[in-house]
């Protein structure tokens, strides 16, 4: 069983005390049950409290995988990474959910979601809960409180920087998906207060400032403890927001994006030799740990949840193939939950070159490219993620997976460098081409898939990003940045509703604010179009 350094189930302190900000839709528990001074008694106690902030990315509750600490949501709907996958991938050309009568699914995967959609509420509430947990840690770790409790440790400075980054990460997701969110920080009194609404531009500034504040108090990239935040994580998020700055703020910042990519690339990360090692049950030890900049860790015994890589791997299993054993889970998986849309499949199938691409894990035999949603035997399936190890073994459990989710990878940074360069951010054309061909050489096992300088275009990159990063919660953001998500410039199956796809209104580039959040915070306003 993998050692998960930060998943500690005794997370009473920050979990309870942070749960009373009214617009979080969090089930409340009495904060007087355990007092802060009884919890924060040592450096180790602070590390356990920080564990609670990290754990919110993996767990839906601190009791069992079927539980949830967000009222009104089931364990799957309210899980952080499953929510990101739903909104970033399920809403695009990459994947379709078979059982679309499940609450919220039809609206998301057909790009018609309303403010009542429960999946949107799950993401908004879980991200705000992460903000609350981060704020509580920062509130309890001020120099004044540390001194009053007789605790002196330079490590807590690092812990605070990690908490700031985790807070920035959640606000980044809210900025990207919803375009606005309420403001809370550690200086605000805990209680039923309604945070002021931050616009997308204001969120951008907040995220950027939090990251810059945290940077110098963190270890250099890929030098710290696996799974914990370091400078590489901060610089990657900064590269992300700068690359998308024109979408978020109207002002391009490609030079800064490229510079942050260089900072990450010049750290000690490296590509693993085998692409698929990034998505296996031992990706914390098989070499992929040097490519994965920030994993959301999973362990089949200690971090059981119905999101993360559990839903991805179980959902990959074909209804007719019953191929779960090869993926390290039970033969039937989750009953043919996912299939890929034909437009995505064509990125590998329209050119015989990609028959030898290691990233092409499509299963097409005895299947049709077109999808009839209720019929799980239509449409191709894919097997990128696995609960098997690089040596052929199995994860610790056949239901809940050991595979860590790679939220950020070096491969993505290579692709971002090339894009920022093409968009006028500076850098070097030869270097950009070299990064792309390094990914292609790994994928093909030789230089047969290498491209020339003239072939490195933005149109090439949007397709290559899909081939390299599919199902890693980037696609919707990418399609928006390239101008393909809304409108009719690019149509995919079931886009906008009908099987053949249709144009999507421009206002859907931002999701609506959930009605439950509007109801509990009068300072929040709805996004235009909803």
Q: What are the tens digits of pLDDT across the range 322-334?
A: 999 999 999 999 9
Place of tokens 């809960």: 129
Cα atoms found within 13 Å of the Cα of residue 202, Cβ hemisphere only: 9
Q: Judge whether 425 lies within some domain.
A: no
Residue 28's pLDDT band, with cuts at 50, 70 and 90, is very low
Mean of pLDDT values over 215-241 = 97
Q: What is the DSSP string of 232-244?
A: HHHHHHHHHHHHT
DSSP collapsed to 3 states, 96-161: EECCCCCCCHHHHHCCCCCCCCHHHHHHHHHHHHHHHHHHHHHHHCCHHHHHHCCCCCCHHHHHHH
What pLDDT is stored for residue 387 in this prediction? 98
- Cα gap 421→19, rounded to integer Å: 43
- Cα gap 182→111, rounded to integer Å: 25
Structural domain range at position 126: 12-217+511-520
Mean of pLDDT values over 242-248 = 98
Q: Judge whether 397 lies within some domain.
A: no
Q: Judge whether 190 lies within some domain.
A: yes
Q: Judge whether 493 lies within some domain.
A: no
- Cα gap 462→440, rounded to integer Å: 15
Residues paired with residue 487 on neighbouring β-strands, in sequence order? 504
Residue 228 tokens, joined: 């914990």
Count of the separate structural domains present in the chain: 1
Residue 152's pLDDT band, with cuts at 50, 70 and 90, is confident
Name the least confident of 6-15, 232-241, 296-305, 521-530.
6-15
What pLDDT is stored for residue 146 in this prediction? 94
- Cα gap 239→116, rounded to integer Å: 33
Among 133, 140, 196, 199, smallest CA distance to 167 is for 133
Residue 22 clears pLDDT 50, i.e. is over it: no
Name the least confident of 22-36, 189-203, 505-519.
22-36
- Buried b vs exposed e over 231-250: b needs ≥16 C-beta within 10 Å? bbbbbbbbbbbbbbbebbbe
Cα atoms found within 13 Å of the Cα of residue 269, Cβ hemisphere only: 31
Residue 41 tokens, joined: 């008694």
Residue 106's pLDDT band, with cuts at 50, 70 and 90, is very high
- Three-state secondary structure call for residue 93: coil
Residue 41 clears pLDDT 80, i.e. is over it: yes
Name the least confident of 61-70, 71-80, 203-212, 439-448.
61-70
Contact 316, 334 (CB under 8 A): no
Name the least confident of 71-85, 116-130, 257-271, 505-519.
71-85
**Residues with Cβ within 8 Å of residue 450, at least 6 apart in sequence:** 437, 440, 441
Q: Judge whether 316 lies within some domain.
A: no
Q: Judge whether 408 lies within some domain.
A: no
- Buried b vs exposed e over 92-125: b needs ≥16 C-beta within 10 Å? bbbbbbbebeeebbbbbbbbebebebbbbbbbbb
Give percent above pLDDT 70 in the chain: 93
Name the least confident of 8-12, 48-52, 316-320, 334-338.
8-12
Q: Judge whether 38 lies within some domain.
A: yes
- Express each pLDDT in 51-67 by its tens digit: 989 999 998 877 777 77
What crossing angle do the helices spanning 410-420 and 458-469 adopt, rounded to 10°? 170
Q: What are the phi and psi torsion angles at 338 (to 5°)?
A: -115, 145
Q: What is the DSSP string of 364-399?
A: -TT--SS--TT-TTSSBEE----SB-TTS-B-S-SS
Reduced DSSP (H G I as helix, E B as strand, rest coil) percent helix, strand, coil of the chain, to 5? 45, 5, 50
Place of tokens 């509430």: 125
Contact 85, 122 (CB under 8 A): no
Q: Judge whether 233 lies within some domain.
A: no
Residue 279 tokens, joined: 């998505």
Contact 507, 519 (CB under 8 A): no
- Cα gap 61→15, rounded to integer Å: 10
Place of tokens 């009194």: 189
- Cα gap 329→208, rounded to integer Å: 40
Place of tokens 């990207």: 176
Mean of pLDDT values over 42-54 = 93
Torsion of CA 100, 103, 107, 108, to 10 degrees: -80
The domain spanning residue 30 has which CATH number? 1.25.40.390
Contact 293, 264 (CB under 8 A): yes
Contact 444, 487 (CB under 8 A): no
Residue 36 clears pLDDT 90, i.e. is over it: no
Residue 35's pLDDT band, with cuts at 50, 70 and 90, is low
Biggest CA–CA distance in the chain, Å, is 68
Mean of pLDDT values over 199-215 = 98
- Express each pLDDT in 351-406 by its tens digit: 999 999 999 999 999 999 999 999 999 999 999 999 999 999 999 999 999 999 99
- Cα gap 258→269, rounded to integer Å: 17
Residue 201 clears pLDDT 70, i.e. is over it: yes
Contact 385, 472 (CB under 8 A): no
Across the chain, what does the average pLDDT equal? 92
Mean of pLDDT values over 79-96 = 97
What pLDDT is stored for residue 25 in this prediction? 41
Mean of pLDDT values over 470-490 = 98
Residue 17 clears pLDDT 60, i.e. is over it: no
């Amino acid at each position: 069983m993998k050692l998960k350094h930060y998943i500690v189930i005794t997370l009473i302190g920050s979990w309870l005390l942070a749960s009373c900000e009214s617009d979080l839709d969090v089930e409340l528990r009495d904060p007087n049950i355990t007092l802060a001074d009884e919890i924060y008694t040592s450096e180790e106690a602070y590390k356990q409290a920080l564990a609670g902030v990290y754990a919110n990315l993996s767990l839906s509750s601190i009791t069992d995988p079927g539980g949830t600490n967000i009222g009104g949501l089931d364990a799957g709907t309210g899980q952080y990474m499953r929510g990101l996958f739903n909104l970033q991938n399920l809403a695009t050309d990459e994947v379709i959910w078979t059982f679309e009568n499940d609450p919220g699914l039809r609206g998301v995967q057909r790009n018609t979601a309303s403010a009542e959609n429960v999946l949107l509420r799950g993401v908004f509430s879980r991200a705000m809960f992460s903000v609350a947990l981060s704020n509580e840690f920062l509130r309890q770790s001020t120099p004044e409180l540390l001194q009053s409790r007789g605790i002196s440790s330079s490590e807590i400075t690092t812990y605070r920087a990690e908490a700031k980054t985790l807070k920035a990460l959640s606000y980044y997701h809210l900025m990207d998906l919803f375009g606005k969110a309420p403001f809370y920080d550690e200086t605000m009194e805990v209680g039923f207060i309604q945070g002021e609404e931050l616009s997308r531009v204001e969120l951008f500034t907040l995220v950027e400032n939090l990251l810059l504040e945290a940077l110098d108090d963190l270890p250099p990239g890929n030098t710290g403890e696996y799974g914990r935040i370091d400078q590489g994580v901060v610089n990657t998020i900064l590269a992300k927001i700068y690359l998308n700055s024109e979408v978020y703020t109207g002002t391009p910042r490609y030079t800064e994006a490229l510079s942050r990519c260089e900072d990450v690339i010049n750290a000690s990360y490296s590509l693993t030799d085998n692409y698929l090692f990034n998505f296996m049950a031992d990706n914390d030890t098989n070499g992929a740990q040097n490519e994965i900049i920030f994993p959301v860790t999973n362990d089949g015994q200690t971090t059981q949840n119905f999101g993360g890589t559990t839903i991805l791997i179980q959902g990959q299993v074909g209804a007719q193939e019953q191929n779960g054993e090869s993926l390290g889970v039970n033969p039937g998986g989750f009953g043919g939950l996912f299939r890929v849309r034909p437009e995505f499949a064509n990125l590998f199938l329209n050119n015989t070159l990609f028959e030898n691409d290691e990233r092409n894990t499509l299963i097409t035999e005895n299947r049709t490219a077109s999808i009839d949603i209720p019929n799980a035997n239509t449409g191709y399936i894919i097997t990128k993620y696995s609960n098997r190890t690089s040596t052929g073994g199995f994860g610790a459990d056949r239901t809940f997976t050991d595979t860590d989710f790679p939220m950020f990878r070096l491969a993505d940074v290579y692709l971002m460098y090339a894009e920022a360069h093409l968009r006028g951010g500076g850098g070097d054309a030869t270097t950009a081409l070299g990064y792309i061909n390094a990914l292609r050489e790994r994928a093909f096992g030789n230089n047969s898939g290498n491209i020339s300088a003239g072939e490195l275009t933005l149109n090439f990159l949007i397709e290559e990003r899909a081939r390299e990063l599919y199902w890693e919660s980037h696609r919707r953001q990418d399609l928006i940045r390239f101008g393909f998500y809304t409108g009719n410039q690019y149509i995919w199956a079931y886009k906008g509703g009908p099987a053949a796809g249709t144009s999507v209104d421009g206002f859907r580039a931002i999701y609506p604010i959930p009605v439950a959040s509007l109801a509990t915070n009068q300072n929040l306003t709805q996004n235009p179009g909803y």
